[in-house]
Amino acid sequence: MPVSVLLADDQHLVRAGFRSLLKRDREIVIAGEAATGDEAVRTARALRPDVVLMDIRMPGLDGIAATRRIMADPELRDCRVIILTTFETDEYVFAALEAGASGFLTKEIDPDGLRHAVRVVAAGEALLSPSVTRRVIKQFAHRPAPAPAGGARLATLTSREREVVTLVASGLSNEDIARELVISPLTAKTHITRAITKLGVRDRVQLAILAYEEGLVGR
């Protein structure tokens, strides 16, 4: 099945450019477009796309708030959001991930990278550039430590899954985790998938956030 994409950006030329680039991939179809955050939410609910490419600065409801509403809608459980913007700042990155975005990319990304990002996120993975990952980790490290949660949410994980989650929160890829634990990348991915299911989070970004909030990763 092709990946359906909703383009949300207040500039018509930007949407046209993204539409042209993505249509070159036979595995991607453009489900619809939106010029405001409110329209993005309404259109997502109507069309239920696999992926929303969401700009941050739009009239009325901004892209962060729109992402939060989409992620909170039970009917859009399978929808993924990629924030695509010219503003790669810590404030925007962190807010986007906390809102539930599965990726954060700048508009400087090349066409092949954009198409790859859509396919990766649609498959249930999270996608962040290394620079963004490092800044997210740094941001968490400077937040006030959360109150002890007793590890209740993490109690369902095996010791190996806890190891893997810790490494995910440290910004390691599946290949890096495989090398660190002397396992195959497929086994690493399996552990991550099981941890995501057990903890009821959407993807590895939310898994990393939970690891910090539960104190699994040291500060």
- Fold for the domain defined by 3-138: Rossmann fold (3.40.50)
Cα–Cα distance for residue pair 51/69, rounded to 1 Å: 14
Q: What is the pTM of this model?
A: 0.74
With beta carbons less than 8 A apart as the criterion, state whether 107 and 86 touch.
yes
Cα–Cα distance for residue pair 182/191, rounded to 1 Å: 13
Give residue-wise pLDDT tens across range 156-174. Answer: 999 999 999 988 887 777 8
Q: Residue 140: which pLDDT band, with cuts at 50, 70 and 90?
A: low
Q: Which CATH code of 3.65.10.10, 2.40.40.20, 1.10.10.10, 3.30.420.40 fits the domain covering 159-213?
A: 1.10.10.10
pLDDT of residue 206: 78
What burial class does residue 153 get, using C-beta atoms within 10 Å of its C-beta: 0-12 exposed, 13-18 middle, 19+ buried? middle
From residue 181, how far is each of 57, 78, 189 by CA, in Å?
Answer: 41, 31, 12
Output 94 or 65, whichever has higher pLDDT.
Answer: 65
With beta carbons less than 8 A apart as the criterion, state whether 100 and 179 touch.
no
Strand order across the 127-128 sheet: 28-34, 3-8, 51-54, 80-85, 103-106, 127-128
Indicate the domain borders of the chain: 3-138, 159-213
pLDDT of residue 96: 82
pLDDT of residue 132: 61
Least confidently predicted of 5-14, 89-98, 158-167:
89-98
Q: Residue 215: which pLDDT band, with cuts at 50, 70 and 90?
A: confident
